[in-house]
């Protein structure tokens, strides 16, 4: 019952399975104790009937009182244990699942994040886990416990009187057949509803993220109309899903409760025929309430459990995704980066073919080429942010595919165009470069990256919070923080993606001098869009259509007639002056 398939179906950990078993056992015990309470009621009724019909003396009240007190104590203890097993332990399980999801995401290849956007992933970590939490705590132990306890009572009922037992229980299997028959429809509906919900979350996130562009282009109305349409579609899907599920659940409940009528009819007939006395029917009527009550709740839970299976499969997708792993050591002979016949595709779109070049330690190697030629892709692959499909990338003779990405990245500093900052102080944002760096080290790196000039004007200096992704700073200021972070890290390999692109000329000159300090003696791979940036490079690799088209020093490539690099340089100097006539 609680095998691997069950574990997968409800995305449970090993501990979660153990908890579910415990919860089931305690539910069975609690249900049987409550049913035992019905036995006390039956005994009392029998004694009083005996007094009424045969004139027997009334039993001593303290006997029943003792029985009732015993029953209450036992029921309380059992329910306490059941509560602890079903709710208490689940909160630990939720914490473990969220941590393991976050751990997993840390190691997933970036390709995964291209397929599932932020709204979708947030929904998995928060929404899906919440939904499963409810199923783990309110459904699994309760439902399976009810199956077992009802089976026990059903056997007892059959032993007592099989005719009344059938009259009472025939609705239960019919109700379950109806519900399980509707499983596919309900599951499909919940998948559709879930997708519609994610589309709404996506739309909201996209609108908030792009609010400036939307306002600048007067597109508010269009965006809001689209968002409203998505919200309406989600509402309709939700209503349709609830309705179809509700129809099946209520029909199943009604069918099951028809058992009350058939029990009364059968009981009456058996009494009239003199085959049973009234007390037997009374006992069955008492038992019916206890058999139906957990099953009635279980019917409602089944719908929730079916919906939760969609959430479980989304969690499983993350858990089963291949993660980037490798050795925990990275012992290299120097830090030359060597690309050898590297081939790489995003899904089925091949963007790099047979790319080979070397970026030497102590040199600046610039990647140049038309937009979309694969420059940024090469930089990402050099840091194993994605895994290559063909060939090899070695650093100091070690294949980076064999090294754990976290260990590998400790040797890299990256300054990219899209700077990522956190909603924290400037001090902490820079300190991310080196865990445990002192305030003095952070400030020294910030000064070297020319951050002082704007930090001094801020109300709390380095302790000023900069808003989500540095929203309170200009593009150039954000980039200087990212350069300060790289300076602090002082790693032997530096990847720069047009790092000074958003700076004005004065600041660019200042940051260039800071960068020169950062780059000294390192292996530097620069992605350059402006030819001016690559004048100081030791080597230029020109990419075109995902292949290396030219390679050499700037002067060698400039001397090449009909060369791509020469052509690009000429184009940029022609465009240097705007022609608005
Ligand atoms: N995450 C991604 N998923 C799918 N395709 C991508 C992804 N990133 C880039 N591409 C595609 O790969 C190709 C190379 O992109 P890349 O960013 O490496 O080029 P680039 O030379 O750096 O371009 P640019 O100079 O415009 O920044 C492009 O066709 C791009 O559309």
The predicted-structure confidence for 312-342, as pLDDT tens digits, reads as follows 888 888 888 777 778 888 888 899 999 999 9
Mean pLDDT of 538-563: 91
Atom of ligand 1 lying closest to residue 373 CA: 21
Q: 315 with 11: CB under 8 angstroms?
A: yes
Strand order of the β-sheet with 337-346 is 349-359, 337-346, 390-395, 398-399
Query: What is the signed CA dihedral for 515, 516, 521, 523, rounded to 10 degrees?
Result: 50
Exposure of 331 in the CB half-sphere (CA atoms within 13 A): 1
CA of 374 to the centre of ligand 1 (A): 6
Q: Regarding predicted confidence, which is higher, 96 or 489? A: 489
Atom of ligand 1 lying closest to residue 347 CA: 4
Quick one: pLDDT band at residue 135, thresholds 50, 70, 90?
Answer: confident
CA distance 256 to 295: 9
Q: Is 47 in a helix, a strand, or coil? A: helix
Determine which residue's CA is closest to atom 30 belonging to ligand 1: 372
Quick one: pLDDT band at residue 402, thresholds 50, 70, 90?
Answer: very high
Residue 277 has pLDDT above 50, yes or no: yes
Residue 437 has pLDDT above 60, yes or no: yes
Residue 579 has pLDDT above 50, yes or no: no
CA of 200 to the centre of ligand 1 (A): 27
CA of 481 to the centre of ligand 1 (A): 25
CA of 498 to the centre of ligand 1 (A): 15
Residue 367: beta bridge partners?
527, 541
Nearest by Cα to 332 from 434, 390, 435, 402: 402
Read off φ and ψ for residue 354, nearest 5 degrees: 45, 45
Nearest by Cα to 141 from 14, 30, 289: 30
Quick one: pLDDT band at residue 357, thresholds 50, 70, 90?
Answer: very high
CA of 358 to the centre of ligand 1 (A): 21
555 lines ligand 1 (CB under 6 A): no
519 lines ligand 1 (CB under 6 A): no
Residue 581 has pLDDT above 50, yes or no: no
CA of 401 to the centre of ligand 1 (A): 21
Q: What is the pLDDT of residue 475?
A: 78
Atom of ligand 1 lying closest to residue 369 CA: 21
Burial of residue 66 (number of CB atoms within 10 Å: 0-12, 13-18, 19+):
exposed
CA of 377 to the centre of ligand 1 (A): 6
173 lines ligand 1 (CB under 6 A): no
346 lines ligand 1 (CB under 6 A): yes
- Residue-wise pLDDT for 438-471, tens only, equals 999 999 999 888 888 888 888 888 998 887 777 7
Q: What is the pLDDT of residue 176?
A: 79
Nearest by Cα to 332 from 411, 387, 413: 411
For a mutational test of ligand 1's pocket, the pick from 117, 347, 349, 372, i.e. the residue with the most ligand atoms closer than 8 A to its C-beta, is 372
Q: 330 with 398: CB under 8 angstroms?
A: yes
Residue 31 has pLDDT above 50, yes or no: yes
Mean pLDDT of 420-425: 87
DSSP 465: B
CATH superfamily, domain 4-320, is ABC transporter type 1, transmembrane domain (1.20.1560.10)
Quick one: pLDDT band at residue 548, thresholds 50, 70, 90?
Answer: very high
Q: What share of the chain has pLDDT > 70, as a percent?
A: 92
Determine which residue's CA is closest to atom 27 belonging to ligand 1: 371
Q: What is the pLDDT of residue 492?
A: 93
What own/partner pairs with CB < 8 Å and gap ≥ 24 does 165-170 have?
A: 165/284, 167/259, 167/262, 167/263, 167/265, 167/266, 167/267, 168/259, 168/262, 168/263, 168/284, 168/287, 168/288, 168/291, 169/259, 169/291, 170/259, 170/262
Residue 297 has pLDDT above 50, yes or no: yes
Q: Is 338 in a helix, a strand, or coil? A: strand
376 lines ligand 1 (CB under 6 A): yes
Residue 427 has pLDDT above 80, yes or no: yes
373 lines ligand 1 (CB under 6 A): yes
Angle between helices 171-181 and 162-169 (to 10 degrees): 30
Domain ranges for the chain, please list them.
4-320
Mean pLDDT of 200-228: 83
Determine which residue's CA is closest to atom 28 belonging to ligand 1: 372
Q: What is the pLDDT of residue 511?
A: 67
- Residue-wise pLDDT for 34-78, tens only, equals 878 877 877 787 777 777 777 766 667 787 788 888 888 998 998
Q: What is the pLDDT of residue 111?
A: 65
Quick one: pLDDT band at residue 129, thresholds 50, 70, 90?
Answer: confident
562 lines ligand 1 (CB under 6 A): no
CA of 381 to the centre of ligand 1 (A): 12
CA of 372 to the centre of ligand 1 (A): 5
Determine which residue's CA is closest to atom 31 belonging to ligand 1: 372
Q: What is the pLDDT of residue 430?
A: 93
CA distance 266 to 288: 14
Atom of ligand 1 lying closest to residue 380 CA: 18
Q: Regarding predicted confidence, which is higher, 111 or 178? A: 178
Nearest by Cα to 282 from 43, 500, 77: 43
- Average predicted confidence (pLDDT) for the chain: 83
**How many C-beta atoms lie closer than 10 Å to residue 271's C-beta?**
14
381 lines ligand 1 (CB under 6 A): no
CA of 425 to the centre of ligand 1 (A): 32
Burial code (b: 16+ CB inside 10 Å, e: under 16) for 522-556 equals bbbbbbbbebebbeebebbbbbeebebbbbbebee
Q: What is the pLDDT of residue 351?
A: 93
Q: What is the pLDDT of residue 307?
A: 73
375 lines ligand 1 (CB under 6 A): yes
Q: Regarding predicted confidence, which is higher, 190 or 335? A: 335
Question: Could you tell me where the beta strands, DSSP code E, fall in 400-502?
Answer: 412-415, 493-497
Mean pLDDT of 397-411: 91
Q: Regarding predicted confidence, which is higher, 243 or 417? A: 243
Residue 544: beta bridge partners?
547
Q: What is the pLDDT of residue 580?
A: 41
Residue 299 has pLDDT above 50, yes or no: yes
For a mutational test of ligand 1's pocket, the pick from 355, 376, 380, i.e. the residue with the most ligand atoms closer than 8 A to its C-beta, is 376
């Amino acid at each position: 019952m609680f095998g691997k398939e069950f574990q997968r179906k409800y995305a449970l950990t090993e501990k979660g399975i153990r908890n579910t078993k415990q919860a089931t056992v305690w539910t069975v015990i609690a249900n049987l104790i409550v049913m035992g309470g019905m036995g006390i009621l039956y005994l009392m009724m029998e004694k009083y009937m005996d007094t009424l019909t045969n004139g027997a003396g009334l039993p001593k009240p303290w006997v029943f009182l003792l029985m009732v007190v015993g029953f209450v104590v036992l029921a309380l203890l059992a329910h306490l244990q059941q509560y602890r097993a079903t709710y208490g332990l689940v909160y630990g399980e939720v914490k473990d699942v969220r941590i393991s999801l976050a751990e997993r995401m840390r190691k997933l290849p970036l390709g995964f994040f291209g397929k599932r956007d932020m709204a979708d992933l947030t929904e998995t970590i928060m929404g899906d886990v919440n939904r499963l939490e409810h199923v783990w705590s309110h459904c699994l132990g309760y439902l399976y416990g009810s199956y077992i306890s009802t089976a026990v009572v059903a056997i007892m009922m059959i032993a007592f009187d099989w005719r009344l037992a059938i009259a009472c229980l025939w609705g239960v299997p019919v109700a379950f057949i109806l519900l399980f028959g509707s499983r596919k429809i309900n599951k499909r509906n919940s998948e559709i509803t879930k997708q519609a919900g994610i589309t709404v979350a996506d739309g909201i996130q996209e609108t908030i993220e792009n609010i400036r562009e939307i306002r600048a282009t007067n597109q508010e109305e269009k965006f809001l109309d689209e968002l409203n349409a998505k919200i309406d579609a989600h509402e309709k899907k939700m209503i349709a899903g609830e309705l179809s599920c509700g129809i099946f659940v209520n029909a199943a409940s009604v069918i099951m409760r028809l058992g009350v009528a058939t029990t009364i009819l059968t009981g009456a007939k058996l009494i009239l025929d003199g085959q049973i006395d009234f007390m037997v029917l009374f006992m069955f009527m008492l038992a019916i309430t206890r058999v139906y009550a957990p099953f009635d709740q279980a019917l409602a839970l089944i719908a929730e459990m079916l919906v939760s299976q969609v959430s479980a499969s989304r969690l499983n997708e993350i858990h089963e995704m291949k993660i980037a792993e490798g050795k925990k050591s990275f012992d290299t002979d120097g830090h030359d980066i060597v690309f050898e016949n590297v081939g790489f595709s995003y899904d089925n779109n091949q963007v790099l073919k047979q790319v080979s070049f070397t970026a030497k330690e102590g040199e600046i190697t610039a990647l140049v080429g038309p937009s979309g030629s694969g420059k940024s892709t090469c930089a990402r692959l050099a840091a194993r942010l994605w895994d290559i499909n063909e060939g090899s990338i070695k650093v100091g003779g070690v294949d980076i595919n064999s090294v754990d990405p976290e260990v590998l990245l400790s040797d890299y500093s990256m300054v990219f165009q899209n700077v990522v900052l956190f909603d924290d102080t400037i001090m902490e944002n820079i300190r991310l470069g080196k865990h445990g760096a002192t305030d003095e080290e952070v400030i020294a790196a910030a000064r070297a990256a020319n951050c002082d000039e704007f930090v001094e004007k801020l109300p709390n200096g380095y302790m000023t919070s900069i808003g989500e992704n540095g929203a309170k700073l200009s593009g150039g200021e954000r980039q200087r923080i990212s350069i300060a972070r790289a300076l602090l890290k002082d790693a032997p390999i530096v990847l720069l993606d047009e790092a000074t692109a958003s700076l004005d000329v004065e600041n660019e000159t200042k940051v260039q001098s800071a960068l020169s300090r950062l780059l000294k003696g390192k292996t530097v791979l620069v992605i350059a869009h402006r030819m001016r940036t690559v004048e100081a490079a030791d080597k230029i690799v020109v990419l075109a259509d995902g292949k290396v088209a030219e390679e050499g020093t700037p002067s060698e490539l400039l001397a090449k007639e009909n060369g791509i690099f020469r052509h690009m340089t000429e184009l940029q100097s022609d465009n240097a002056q705007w022609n608005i006539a």
